[in-house]
Structure 1
Amino acid sequence: FAGGESAYYISLNKDKRSLTLNLKKKKGKAILRQLIAQSDVLVENYRLGTLDKLGFGYESVKEINPRLIYCSITGYGNTGPMSHVAGVDIVVAAEAGLIGITGEKDRPPSKVGVAITDILTALFAQGAIANALYHREKTGRGQKIDLSLFESQVATLFNLSSTYLISGEIPQRMGLAHATIVPYQGFKTKDEEYILVAVTSEKMWEEFCHLMGIPEFIHDPRFDINKKRVMNRDELIPMLEEKIAARDSDEWLSAFKKVNIPCGRVNTMDRVFNHPQIKPRNMVVEVKHPTADKIKLVGIPVKYSETPGSIRLPPPLLGQHTEEILSDLLGYSKEEIGALRQEGIV
């Protein structure tokens, strides 16, 4: 926590303003209609039908502002037999196949370390909204975007979903290994660290074998091309594990990098934020917070040549900008806002 706000909340809400509004009261609904009338985009992630009951379904909102982009994010989409079921990241990740392919072979499935299904859906929403805004620029018309956690996750199974759809083969959990490239996985080193090594070509395989001290494997008929290494994975990998376990991680990483074999350490969070790329790429920024003085936030990963991004606002306190939004955007006086507070509207 920082200044009474959770780290989780802080991570999700930078560069936002917060307005509290009671949508069960007529005046609250009237304020939202005023905001919608001058907005470009509305994003909602209520269970299907909730906003319709409040009078803010797409058909109603379109009457207020035909140019509005209305992005509806649900667990399973606006149609289909599960459209009214609420969706949360870990459950949808399981149903959409991600958890089933995550974890060690012959071990129970495992969740990913972050709420990746939520994050992927947000990224799809960003692209969808940008596309809809471009369409509006050309046609003058807004539209509704129907986006679900489930479909977002299914869409990002990539080569594994394609493997099943083409061959009927069910992908298995591979731990730190790759299903179709060998060696392309994690190895434990002498100093109890884990490193990832990706040998992605036959030229790299030659370099790798020389570094390992096994030049005879270069032309060994069991391992001379990737297809055979995949077929004989169970024979090859234990020998490589033994070799790599004999030296420290720094030694291996230095050796692999010298011959341009992709490699890296499995970092803990402290090492992530001491990585040599973090500071020059401005991936940690400090901002002033209303109750916690200064806080550190993750920076902006996309670098624009003409419109460089910046974090302008810290994550807001609940309702922090209510008066500012009502007065600056909608022209409410201090007296009117005070009355709305007294009535429990804001």
Structure 2
Amino acid sequence: MGVLSHLRVVEIGSSAGTSYCTRLFADFGADVQKVEPPAGDPLRHSAPFTPSGQSAWFAFLNFNKSSIIIDPKDPDAAIRLRTLIENCDILVDGRYVDPADCLSIDVAELRKQRPDLIYVEMSWFDRDGDYAGFVATDSTIRALGGLIKLVGPVEGPPLHAPDFQMGIIAGLWGFIAAMCSELTRIKGEVGRSWSLSIFESSLALTEYLMCEAFTRGDVMHRMGTNRFWPSFPTGIYETKKGYLGVTLHTPAQWRSFCDMLCLPELPDDPSLLLGEDRLHHMDKIDAHFVPRLKTQTAQDWFAEGLKRKIPIVPLPEIPDLLQDAEKKARGAIVPVAFAGENGLTVGSAQRLTLTPPRQGGKVPSPGEQQRLTNAQRHLPHTASTSPGPTDPDRLPLHGIRVIDFSMGWAGPLCTRTLADLGADVIKIEAIQYPDWFRGVDRRPAYVNGQMYEKTQRFCILNRNKRGITLDLKRPQGAALAKRLVAGADVVVDNYSVDVLTRLGLGYDVLKQLNRRLVMMSMSAFGMNSVHRDCRAYGSTLEQGSGLPAVIGSSNGPPAMSHTAFGDPVGGLNGCAAVLVALLHARNTGQGQFIDLAQIECMMPFAAPWITVQSAGGTAIRYGNRHPQFVPHGCFRCRGKDSWIMIAVTDTDMWHRLALLIGRPDWAEDASLKFAEARRAIEEVIERDIAAWTLSRDADEAMSDLQAAKVAAGVARLPIDLLNDPHLKSRAFLQTSERAFIGSHPQPSMPIREGVRPYAIRTAAPTLGQHNREILSELLGLSDPEIIELVNAGIIGEKMLSEKELARVSNLSSD
């Protein structure tokens, strides 16, 4: 029986974000009722299509749901819709993206009648702010969110993927909002009401670069396909057979990789020691790397890299994913049935081991009710007393304690989201090995100057947490960690597989201390993977997910679309998984282990191609064009490296665009009414659009296009977002004060319960800032005991330099 099988979820309107949100509920057994118009959800008509004409994108978003057709023209339509909503637990509303002929609903009045109802509303930009009236698509949102301009060849145009990204990110945020609301509702509180901006949800992928730009200035520019700030190499290389993803950050990884390629002269060059330094010598380095890598296959290099603990990975093609027995066994690839056709698609990445998600399912035909074997009969909410009021000052996860062993981006984003929502998150580092997002430079000047306290990336990912240092390699440190876990609800780590187990802190040990404990491992490939020992970063995860194989032009190399795509995606998936497991623990008193493989979290972005290929079709690279919208692309504007994304989604929008750019003949030409007819002259159309945009400033062009209700978005750099007028009007960037760096911006969550975002309560902890507070107040240690821990190097407040670390290691080995 699914862990969420007690819930009924109703989905109205049409949005990839709302569809993915409710699919996550369906994955865990919820009864999801999808309301559609007689013509069906518009997403049923979204390319790419299987050979039989089924939408692969719709199939991925909607299996294991039921469909209810409500014709707004029917006299009883309003009563049917209201009755359906009155008998559900969660209402997910996509009407502000596409109403899909859904009737008007007075949600406020409904919630008065059903105060326990949880409501999640999605829109492109929310209902207020400078962009509130803009028309948009996935790609124009990504352009405005700083996710396109840094990708592709230096000369342009910027390179981007088709529209299969923001719906997944927004869906995860919507699911997180609804799940934390369910956690409060089971305690007797009223249901919460959320609004979600898809544009702001996209900034989970950009916020690190945006806030780094606040400190570093205008240092990020498009550097070429598969090249990204702030490190090099972080890209894709051709080998003797196949392509290889390479990510080298630390000096040790750099030395090992050069040694593997028999290039002893490179590691000795002090100007190439750190990844950011190597950015200034990219062509020089590639001149050495490119010919060497072509001497062996990608699989050969991967095998060598595993021995040397280097983060490299072969790039799979879509057919490789479909033939991967491990991914099928883990449920990353699952069977899907639709309209008499069978195929495969991407399953749930939330790998809860005690209460696992469904492995595949059926896409409902319009109006089809599914009777799912593991769903219990839905019982409408019949509490003996009315739900209690929600304390406006009490955050939804108040009272939940999280022990955070994670570092970098993915794990800290997961735990930061829990902290933002009210959880007490205790971050555990060590003076010997602090979070590597503080910096990997251990040279004396860096350590003595406490530069590790001045990294913006660490500060945005660790706000609202308390910080403690413990040397987990020492018995005293591990023992104190166990005592903290004994009183916690959640443990999160994103170390390599078995690191905590070797320290005596594996799940088998910790569950004996705390049977309700939810523990999540966020490894790259999963605990039981044949690649479990592969080192990985967020870029490695994108490289190994199959996504680069379908991005870019048909005659170009596989292309990455982000410096570390896998990190924020893994973090959001991890947060979603923890909330499901927490709900089960609250209902049953039973904790469990979550085996989250971050590479599987990236696979939904390639899902449409996987489904098409599995059904006998072919995965096609679209370049900057679109499988459905014509015209669609990134066009140069007046000024240096100035671009705008334009997408025409229907006939009326095409008519308005043609008139705007001075082609009334196109607007009046009935033969160009449909996109496929326009595709025959797509190059001609693109040339005329390019001539029009080139004579205008990018923001001026966007203003004119949006005034004509044509979907358009300026291709922003991350630094531009610091002064984005819409984000300013929405108070999205909050100001926080912290020792060592002073006043700095903090991005808000994209989910809101009111007009303003959740406030940032505390700045990120300095190293060991809360040692005394936590050890004395939570564990009852005396001042002499704490001083003894300091003297022994078990705890501390200053990072060790390379020499100090070597000395301590020698003493420990003695």
TM-score, normalisation: structure 1: 0.90
Match of 1:161 among 597, 610, 614: 610
Alignment of structure 1 residues 39-54 onto 2, 5 Å: 39-54=488-503
How far apart are 1:105 and its partner, in Å? 5.7
The answer to which structure, 1 or 2, has the higher relative contact order (CA under 8 A, 6+ apart) is: 1
The reply to whether residue 340 of structure 1 matches residue 795 of structure 2 is no
Q: 1:90 to 1:143 in 2, by over 3 A?
A: same
CA contact (8 A) 1:103 1:173 kept: yes
Alignment of structure 1 residues 9-28 onto 2, 5 Å: 9-28=458-477
Structure 2: distance between partners of 1:251 and 1:313 = 39
Alignment of structure 1 residues 1-346 onto 2, 5 Å: 4=451, 5-103=454-552, 106-172=555-621, 174-175=623-624, 177-192=625-640, 193-218=642-667, 220=669, 223-230=672-679, 232-305=681-754, 309-346=758-795
**Identity within the alignment, %:** 28
Amino acid at match of 1:166: A
Structure 2: distance between partners of 1:138 and 1:321 = 32
Structure 1: distance between partners of 2:689 and 2:744 = 44
Q: 1:247 to 1:310 in 2, by over 3 A?
A: closer
Q: 1:63 to 1:8 in 2, by over 3 A?
A: same
Q: 1:322 to 1:270 in 2, by over 3 A?
A: same
How far apart are 1:298 and its partner, in Å? 2.1
How far apart are 1:315 and its partner, in Å? 1.6
CA contact (8 A) 1:87 1:149 kept: no
Amino acid at match of 1:23: L
Structure 1: distance between partners of 2:729 and 2:756 = 18
Structure 1: distance between partners of 2:652 and 2:616 = 30
RMSD value, Cα? 2.5
Structure 2: distance between partners of 1:34 and 1:68 = 13
Structure 2: distance between partners of 1:151 and 1:240 = 39
How far apart are 1:109 and its partner, in Å? 3.9
Q: Match of 1:257, SS?
A: helix
CA contact (8 A) 2:585 2:591 kept: yes
CA contact (8 A) 1:187 1:196 kept: yes
CA contact (8 A) 1:103 1:109 kept: yes
Amino acid at match of 2:793: G
Q: Match of 2:546, SS?
A: coil
Q: 1:224 to 1:306 in 2, by over 3 A?
A: closer
CA contact (8 A) 2:537 2:564 kept: no
CA contact (8 A) 1:98 1:157 kept: yes
How far apart are 1:136 and its partner, in Å? 1.2
Q: Match of 1:273, SS?
A: helix
Q: After superposition, what is the alpha-carbon deviation per residue over 1:148-196, rounded to whole angstroms, capped at 9, x for unaligned?
A: 1210001233434333333431231514x32332112211124452111
CA contact (8 A) 1:74 1:86 kept: no
Q: Match of 1:200, SS?
A: coil
Q: Match of 1:168, SS?
A: coil
CA contact (8 A) 2:493 2:522 kept: yes
Q: Match of 1:55, SS?
A: coil
Q: After superposition, what is the alpha-carbon deviation per residue over 1:250-293, rounded to whole angstroms, capped at 9, x for unaligned?
A: 44323211221121211233432222222232222222212233
Q: 1:306 to 1:68 in 2, by over 3 A?
A: farther
Structure 2: distance between partners of 1:285 and 1:317 = 20
Structure 1: distance between partners of 2:652 and 2:788 = 74
Structure 1: distance between partners of 2:762 and 2:607 = 36
Structure 2: distance between partners of 1:105 and 1:229 = 21
306-315 vs 4-13, greater mean Cα deviation:
306-315
Structure 2: distance between partners of 1:247 and 1:279 = 24
How far apart are 1:121 and its partner, in Å? 0.6
CA contact (8 A) 2:539 2:563 kept: no
184-193 vs 131-140, greater mean Cα deviation:
184-193
Structure 2: distance between partners of 1:303 and 1:270 = 24
61-70 vs 236-245, greater mean Cα deviation:
236-245
CA contact (8 A) 1:181 1:230 kept: no
Amino acid at match of 2:480: I
Q: Match of 1:311, SS?
A: coil
Q: After superposition, what is the alpha-carbon deviation per residue over 1:45-103, rounded to whole angstroms, capped at 9, x for unaligned?
A: 12112222222211211111110110110010112321232222212211112333344
Amino acid at match of 1:171: I
Structure 2: distance between partners of 1:249 and 1:280 = 20
TM-score, normalisation: structure 2: 0.40
Q: Match of 2:465, SS?
A: coil
Amino acid at match of 1:228: A
Q: After superposition, what is the alpha-carbon deviation per residue over 1:232-252, rounded to whole angstroms, capped at 9, x for unaligned?
A: 534532343234334443443
Structure 1: distance between partners of 2:478 and 2:639 = 62
CA contact (8 A) 2:736 2:763 kept: yes
Q: Which runs of 5+ in 2 are unaligned?
A: 1-214, 217-449, 796-814
115-124 vs 50-59, greater mean Cα deviation:
50-59
Structure 1: distance between partners of 2:478 and 2:695 = 68
Amino acid at match of 2:739: P
